Chains A and B, each alone.
Chain A
Amino acid sequence: MADDKRVLLKIQGLKIEGYSDEKWIEIVHGVDLTLHRGEVLGLIGESGAGKSTIGLAAMGFARDGCRISGGSVEFDGMELTTTPESDRRVLRGSRIAYVAQSAAASFNPAHKLIDQHTEAPVHYRIRKRMESQEDAMELYDRLRLPNPREIGFRYPHQVSGGQLQRAMTAMAMSCRPDLIIFDEPTTALDVTTQIEVLAAIRDIVDQFNTAAIYITHDLAVVAQMADTIKVLLKGDEVEEADTVTMLDDPQEDYTKTLWAVRSFQRPQKSRPEDETVPIVTIDNVDAAYGQTKVLEDVSFDIHAGMTVAVVGESGSGKSTTARCITGLLPPTKGRILFSGEELPASFRARSKDQLRQAQMIYQMADTALNPKVRISDIIGRPAEFYSGLKGAQLKNRVDELLDLIELEPSKFYSRYPPELSGGQKQRIGIARALAAEPSFIICDEVTSALDQLVAEGILRLLDRLQEELDLAYMFITHDLATVRSIADEVVVMKEGRVVEMGPKDVMFTPPHHPYTDLLLSSVPEMDPNWLNTVLEERGVDNIGEAART
């Protein structure tokens, strides 16, 4: 880090209002923030805490339907809230850059990466086109993208997600800004890809002595990246301290609960001694989408009352396995057995009772619940459909189910899904699955779209329900922390094959299959030196390759 320690960004008493229901409602209540040159500040908090809004306000920008209503944003001696929009626009892109959560959505799919990269420097006349292209290639090299001289000439869909996120970072660097705002840049990535991007971002910020605001909800990630951490809750600052102090000695109760989130772990159950028939058996299943083979020779068992976690990167065939079990994608080879009885391959051929036995909970509760149907009907329909309940009986059953998922029946009975929070929607999704009285539930990434505190609540709920109702879970996830807390057995998948499987305690103790090892070591830990240690172990230069092999 250089000696230049002047204050770059100073935000004081920042207030932001959002427009809803024909009123302006304050969503950020006076936040202060000071950032020196070359410093990285981590902003953490749950969704709705105002992280992104503050990040954007640092550029003097407010989203549609929001406005900065008070306070000051001073960037390098310039007051952004009173500067005309035209001057602010020059500042953005040239001196302040923004890296969004989804690089795939932020790149224009119709232009080559390098053309999008050179757009800003050429526009602001910082560099000529050819110079800027040379510079882009150098940045790609520094960010350890493969083939730095050629990759820029590809279109966004021709490179992987992790590479795209790094190209986005390179683009943000194209004008050598003084400040970059990273808004959850690795949230959408697999752990193995995340580690590459994290290392690349940290290096480049170091090399150019750029100041950065790093917005995330993942504490372990922020511990690697930030010099200081600021915790936010509902538009208010909870506390701020340098990273080491913050991790070792948090002051506020809220911060402590955030830190403790990953502590939930339930005792592991083992298979029953006598050879009972497993509730679900996947027997040598192959599956394909058209000509592309996606599953090859997948077999594993799920026993009653147990949780089997299926882990792997995206594209490893986890969700496809679930689609084979539910019958949405009939396997090309192999059988699916339910309590020893073979199921018809397609769900259309299955009986009502067979369909009832296996239920599913989806990743995105937003798309899994019909926004135009009342909660009472969403939950009531399976009960009505399978058990033929009607009238008062049906209402009692719905109330009972709402009680079961810890939502107050009188409050939620006649509401619509868009009126609920993410965690509440996911609970409704669980209740809908339970309404069928199943013996087996597939949980497809049920917590990955939720904040950590909310996710923990859902995991605890699922665990309690398993105890009470003796359910078997197939838990699809890429988050190993979730696996650690809830699984009894673990199945590791890669490229459509089962790489390794066994009870959780065995799987989490070495020796591992090399791929399992890679997955496990890529999970960020709260130790601020974790990233350095891992990179050292793997050898910094070939981290990219290490993650791909």
Chain B
Amino acid sequence: MNYFVIVYYALLIGGSCLAAYFKRREIFLALFSLTLASFVMGIVGGQDALWAVSIAAGLLALAAGTAYAFREFLVIISGTETAKALRTAPLTASFGMFVIFTYAVLGIFAPVIAPFGEAEVISQSFAPADENMLLGADQLGRDLFSRIVYGARNTVGLALVATMIAFVIGVLLGMVAAVKGGWFDQLMGRIIDVVMSIPGLIFALLLLSIFGTNLIILVIIIGLIYAPRVFRLTRAVAGNVVVMDYIEAASLRGEGMWYLIRKEILPNSTAPLIAEFGLEFCFVFLLVAGLSFLGLGIQPPTADWGSMVRENATLISFGEITPLIPAAAIALLTVAVNFVVDWMLFRSSGLKE
């Protein structure tokens, strides 16, 4: 028994007692079950296990603190309407926003932030990390940290453009189908059904092997593969708006279809569409990474997180975590976007009243 262990248990038990005294039921349950679990962990894993728990708790607290501070920062710098909405954001959502913000900064200022070029060979292959290279070198001796920073620009940028293409196509067709109805709606619906019945990754592989792995073609193909899901959502959302009296009033006025879509329907369906944008972005992002991993996505020497995982995969067998770093970057962004989307979905469903 040393001081660390004593302080550890004293803090946990003290915290649970305080929570119980102030009738914070969830906090009490969490703290006290952690105390009980720590008894077992302490006996089985010794002091190291308890250290790991403390570090994990510390990291969690740090993330929560960052999220809280970032939310306050956003509330202060934004206008009254936005600030009101932001104040309702849970910590997970503001943490997500913080991560997205960080990635955006990384991507936009990549040449400034990265110490080396993305294709610059500066060391021998698989060199370990030193004060020069924050995360070590990859299989060709390029700086891994610089490549991750450039990867944020390439992978995320590509996914963003592909998602936008999917949305432009899907939203446009979905709106027209909802407004026009009849044969056009039927025809579009069946075409979409056919496209959706083919698994996305296989369809992408097929098309890429036909048209070649040009960056522009890649973006367009991914956009086309994801457009059907957007189409379906848009048609359903717009379908609910089209039956409103104000649409009837506008069409009786003699307004054209384009006006109806732009001025009457779109403003009333933005909330679910934005939420869907976030979700789709994650899927597209994972597909881009997956294609790169298979060697069909972004081509070397351009840095890209998916192909970085594949290229460094051999290191896994030597017990190195290097290939997992780009994978973790992918995972973190996906989780962050989903946190934000969850909050938006909650808001858009709650705002109906």
Inter-chain contact B246/A368, CB cutoff 8 Å? yes
Inter-chain contact A373/B245, CB cutoff 8 Å? no
- Taken residue by residue from 60 to 85, chain A's Cβ proximity to chain B (1 for < 8 Å, 0 otherwise) reads as 00000000000000000000000000
Q: Give the residue name and chain of the A residue nearest to B254 (CB).
A: A355
Complex Cα distance, B264 from A382, in Å, reads 14
The distance from the CB of A129 to the nearest CB of chain B, in whole angstroms, is 37
Inter-chain contact B252/A367, CB cutoff 8 Å? no
Inter-chain contact B254/A352, CB cutoff 8 Å? yes
- Inside 8 A of B248's CB, which chain A residues have their CB? 328
Interface check B23, CB cutoff 8 A: no
Inter-chain contact A436/B245, CB cutoff 8 Å? no
State which of B251, B252, B264 has its C-beta within 8 Å of the C-beta of A370: B264
- Taken residue by residue from 245 to 260, chain B's Cβ proximity to chain A (1 for < 8 Å, 0 otherwise) reads as 1101111111100000
Q: Give the residue name and chain of the B residue nearest to A352 (CB).
A: B254
- Taken residue by residue from 363 to 386, chain A's Cβ proximity to chain B (1 for < 8 Å, 0 otherwise) reads as 010011111110000000110011
Interface check B194, CB cutoff 8 A: no
Inter-chain contact A368/B245, CB cutoff 8 Å? yes
Interface check B186, CB cutoff 8 A: no
Q: How many A-B residue pairs have CB under 8 A?
A: 47
Complex Cα distance, B244 from A53, in Å, reads 29
Complex Cα distance, B246 from A22, in Å, reads 31
Interface check A41, CB cutoff 8 A: no
Interface check A120, CB cutoff 8 A: no
Complex Cα distance, B253 from A328, in Å, reads 12
Interface check B268, CB cutoff 8 A: yes
Inter-chain contact B246/A369, CB cutoff 8 Å? yes
A contact residues, total (Cβ < 8 Å): 24
- Inside 8 A of A515's CB, which chain B residues have their CB? none
Q: A367-B244, A370-B264 are in contact. Are A362 and B249 (CB under 8 A)?
A: yes
- Taken residue by residue from 62 to 78, chain B's Cβ proximity to chain A (1 for < 8 Å, 0 otherwise) reads as 00000000000000000
Categorize the interface residue count of chain B: 10 to 19
Q: A328-B248, A367-B244 are in contact. Are A436 and B267 (CB under 8 A)?
A: no
Residue among B252, B253, B255, B268 with the highest chain A CB neighbour number at 10 A: B253
Interface check B190, CB cutoff 8 A: no
Interface check A360, CB cutoff 8 A: yes
Interface check A326, CB cutoff 8 A: yes
Inter-chain contact B267/A372, CB cutoff 8 Å? yes
The distance from the CB of B58 to the nearest CB of chain A, in whole angstroms, is 33
Q: A328-B248, A362-B245, A364-B245 are in contact. Are A370 and B267 (CB under 8 A)?
A: yes
State which of B253, B263, B264, B268 has its C-beta within 8 Å of the C-beta of A436: B253
Interface check A117, CB cutoff 8 A: no
Complex Cα distance, B249 from A367, in Å, reads 10
The distance from the CB of B86 to the nearest CB of chain A, in whole angstroms, is 13
Chain A positions 309-352 with a Cβ under 8 Å from a chain B Cβ: 326-328, 347, 350, 352
- Inside 8 A of A326's CB, which chain B residues have their CB? 252
Inter-chain contact A355/B252, CB cutoff 8 Å? yes
Inter-chain contact A360/B249, CB cutoff 8 Å? yes
The distance from the CB of A349 to the nearest CB of chain B, in whole angstroms, is 11
Complex Cα distance, B252 from A364, in Å, reads 17
State which of A347, A355, A367, A385 has its C-beta within 8 Å of the C-beta of B245: A367
Inter-chain contact A367/B254, CB cutoff 8 Å? no
Interface check A432, CB cutoff 8 A: yes
Complex Cα distance, B268 from A347, in Å, reads 25
- Inside 8 A of B267's CB, which chain A residues have their CB? 370, 372-373
Inter-chain contact B263/A368, CB cutoff 8 Å? no
The distance from the CB of A436 to the nearest CB of chain B, in whole angstroms, is 7
Q: Give the residue name and chain of the A residue nearest to B244 (CB).
A: A367
- Inside 8 A of B245's CB, which chain A residues have their CB? 362, 364, 367-368
- Taken residue by residue from 262 to 290, chain B's Cβ proximity to chain A (1 for < 8 Å, 0 otherwise) reads as 01100110000000000000000000000
- Inside 8 A of B84's CB, which chain A residues have their CB? 22
Q: A360-B249, A362-B249, A432-B249 are in contact. Are A371 and B268 (CB under 8 A)?
A: yes
- Inside 8 A of A436's CB, which chain B residues have their CB? 253
The distance from the CB of B184 to the nearest CB of chain A, in whole angstroms, is 15
Complex Cα distance, B252 from A436, in Å, reads 12
Complex Cα distance, B250 from A371, in Å, reads 14
Inter-chain contact A385/B253, CB cutoff 8 Å? yes
Chain A positions 412-452 with a Cβ under 8 Å from a chain B Cβ: 432, 436
Q: Give the residue name and chain of the A residue nearest to B243 (CB).
A: A367
The distance from the CB of A238 to the nearest CB of chain B, in whole angstroms, is 30
- Inside 8 A of A382's CB, which chain B residues have their CB? 253
Complex Cα distance, B252 from A327, in Å, reads 8
The distance from the CB of B348 to the nearest CB of chain A, in whole angstroms, is 13
The distance from the CB of A476 to the nearest CB of chain B, in whole angstroms, is 14
Complex Cα distance, B260 from A373, in Å, reads 12
Inter-chain contact B246/A385, CB cutoff 8 Å? no
Complex Cα distance, B213 from A39, in Å, reads 83
Inter-chain contact B246/A360, CB cutoff 8 Å? no
Complex Cα distance, B268 from A328, in Å, reads 23
Inter-chain contact B254/A370, CB cutoff 8 Å? no
- Inside 8 A of A347's CB, which chain B residues have their CB? 251-252, 254
Chain A positions 354-411 with a Cβ under 8 Å from a chain B Cβ: 355, 360, 362, 364, 367-373, 381-382, 385-386
Inter-chain contact A355/B268, CB cutoff 8 Å? no
Q: Give the residue name and chain of the B residue nearest to A366 (CB).
A: B245
The distance from the CB of A368 to the nearest CB of chain B, in whole angstroms, is 4
The distance from the CB of B50 to the nearest CB of chain A, in whole angstroms, is 42
- Inside 8 A of B264's CB, which chain A residues have their CB? 370, 373
Inter-chain contact B252/A328, CB cutoff 8 Å? yes
State which of A327, A352, A370 has its C-beta within 8 Å of the C-beta of B246: A370
Inter-chain contact A360/B254, CB cutoff 8 Å? no
The distance from the CB of B247 to the nearest CB of chain A, in whole angstroms, is 8
- Inside 8 A of A385's CB, which chain B residues have their CB? 253-255
The distance from the CB of A429 to the nearest CB of chain B, in whole angstroms, is 8
Inter-chain contact B268/A372, CB cutoff 8 Å? yes
Could you jot down 12 A-B contacts, CB within 8 Å?
A22-B84, A347-B252, A350-B254, A355-B254, A362-B245, A362-B249, A367-B244, A368-B244, A370-B267, A372-B268, A373-B264, A432-B249
Taking Cβ atoms with an 8 Å cutoff, the residues of B that contact A are 84, 244-246, 248-255, 263-264, 267-268
Q: A328-B252, A347-B251 are in contact. List 6 more A-B contacts (CB 8 A).
A: A347-B252, A347-B254, A362-B249, A373-B264, A381-B253, A385-B255
